[in-house]
Amino acid sequence: MSTVFTPSAGAAALGLSILAGSVPASAQVADSITIYNAQHEGLTKEWVEAFTEETGIVVTVRNGSDLEFANQIVQEGANSPADVLLTENSPAMALVDGKGLFEQVDQATLDQVPEGFRPGNGHWVGIAARSTVFAYDRTKLSEDKLPKSMLDLAKPEWKGRWAASPSGADFQAIVGALLQLKGEQATGEWLKGMKENFTAYRGNSTAMKAVNAGQTEGALIYHYYYFGDQAKTGENSKNVALHYFKNQDPGAFVSISGGGVLASSKHKGQAQAFLKWVTGKGGQTVLRDGTSFEYAVGKGEASNKALVPLADLQAPKVEPSALNNAKVTDLMTAAGLL
């Protein structure tokens, strides 16, 4: 009987091997790494292409989101196929680091990034940064009507007037900063007020698009969505302006995107080389000249000229390695946001 199935099973096996061949698997090529990428696909693509061209190291990318990968790596443990983890925000890095799954980053790499943009233990390193903003409909709100602090958005006068993407890692990082700055009780109360006042969108781009379309007056998102859209057609941001809270307000939080080499990596040399490249001239130039509009964090590396300089943002001091996402998720679940 088994012979009946042999031809089709054989064809399937053939197909499998063809497919395996078409997908560059790091295990097959010695000089290659696998990246779990939670950063914007476009940005990582720009990085990877330039890196491979310069070094000849082949890179396989799996795309996903911050905490999905952090938890995935924890489950995979010693068997993780990933060599490098890149995130948009720090909490996912803190989670993986908390389980002791990162390799110490090479000192030369750490030296390329100022102390404020990496954790003190050197287990991972900042690769880029983004600022919290209130993106508002400038046809509806004048500057004097804007919230003075992010905390104002939980007050009754903002009921039904603003948007956010609560299921995303970006927003959860902002809540993480609020938690670190103002404590558990204040954060819990703010989230309850938020639940009353805001409209949930899936993704920051979509939230900004809603502001532009007049569906809501403002959205609590990161800065680069606006600049990215302006650089393209501007069709989703033509009515939008950005409000920076400044004054060390929780809403002036600057979130650090992280990169780390996994302790389980079998290609540590290449993985370290990648981090060194991303935090060095090559990677930071991509941030300045590319389409991402995220801030460069390398020492002496300039960000895109269109952006408000990092130094002028008056961001509050937040310890990235202490951002506690588990607590944030609990508080958000308790407030009915998740």
Partner 1 sequence: MTSIADTRITAAPRRRLQAAASWTLTIAFALAMLALLPLGFVLWATVETGWATAFQLIFRARVGDLMVNTILLVAFTVPICTVLAVSLAWLTERTDLPGARLWSWLSVAPLAVPAFVHSYAWIGMWPSLNGLFAGVVISVVAYFPFLYLPVSAAFRLLDPALEDQAASLGLAPPAVFRRVVLPQLRLALCGGALLIGLHLLSEYGLYAMIRFDTFTTAIIDQFQSTYNGVAAHMLALVLVACCFVLLGLEAGLRGRSRYARLGSGAARRPKITRLGKWTYPCLLLPIATAGFSLGIPTLTIGRWLVAGGAGVWRVDEVGLSLFQTLLICLVGGIATTAAAVPIAWLSVRRPTRGSRFLEGCYYLASSMPGVVVALALVTVTVRVMLPLYQTVATIVLAYMVMFLPRALVSLRASIAQVPVELEQAAASLGRSPGNALWSTTVRLAAPGAAAGVALASLGIMNELTATQMLAPNGTRTLAMAFFALTGEIDYAGAAPYALLMILFSMPLTWLLHYQSKKIAGR
Task: Provide the binding-site residues for partner 1, judged by CB under 8 A.
Answer: 1-5, 7-9, 11-12, 15-16, 18-20, 22-26, 34, 40-42, 60-65, 67-72, 74-76, 79, 81, 167, 169, 172, 200-203, 205-206, 209-210, 213, 215, 229, 232-233, 236, 329, 333, 336, 338
Nearer to partner 1, 80 or 304 (CB): 80
Q: Are 275 and 261 in contact (CB under 8 A)?
A: yes
In the complex, the smallest distance separating the C-beta of residue 246 from partner 1, rounded to whole angstroms, is 28
The packing angle between helices 281-289 and 268-279, to 10°, is: 50
Contacts of 39 (CB under 8 A, 6+ apart): 86, 87, 88, 127, 128, 257
Nearer to partner 1, 315 or 337 (CB): 337
Nearer to partner 1, 7 or 156 (CB): 7
Burial class (CB in 10 A: 0-12, 13-18, 19+), 91: buried
Q: Are 270 and 57 in contact (CB under 8 A)?
A: yes
In the complex, the smallest distance separating the C-beta of residue 57 from partner 1, rounded to whole angstroms, is 15
Nearer to partner 1, 18 or 311 (CB): 18
In the complex, the smallest distance separating the C-beta of residue 116 from partner 1, rounded to whole angstroms, is 27
In the complex, the smallest distance separating the C-beta of residue 122 from partner 1, rounded to whole angstroms, is 26
Burial class (CB in 10 A: 0-12, 13-18, 19+), 33: buried
Nearer to partner 1, 90 or 279 (CB): 90
Nearer to partner 1, 151 or 179 (CB): 179
- What DSSP string runs through 234-295? -TTTTTEEEE---TT-GGG-EEEEEEEEBTT-S-HHHHHHHHHHHHSHHHHHHHHHSS--PB
Nearer to partner 1, 58 or 146 (CB): 58
Q: Are 149 and 251 in contact (CB under 8 A)?
A: yes
Helix (H, G, I), strand (E, B) or coil at 102: strand
In the complex, the smallest distance separating the C-beta of residue 22 from partner 1, rounded to whole angstroms, is 6
Contacts of 35 (CB under 8 A, 6+ apart): 44, 48, 59, 60, 61, 62, 82, 83, 84, 85, 86, 274
The DSSP 8-state label assigned to residue 165 in this structure reads -
In the complex, the smallest distance separating the C-beta of residue 136 from partner 1, rounded to whole angstroms, is 18
Task: Give CA–CA dist 176/91, Å, rounded.
Answer: 8
* Contacts by 281-290, CB closer than 8 A, 24 or more apart: 282/50, 282/51, 282/54, 283/47, 283/50, 283/51, 283/127, 286/43, 286/46, 286/47, 286/50, 287/43, 287/128, 290/43, 290/46
Nearer to partner 1, 31 or 312 (CB): 31
Nearer to partner 1, 53 or 143 (CB): 53
In the complex, the smallest distance separating the C-beta of residue 211 from partner 1, rounded to whole angstroms, is 12
In the complex, the smallest distance separating the C-beta of residue 300 from partner 1, rounded to whole angstroms, is 30
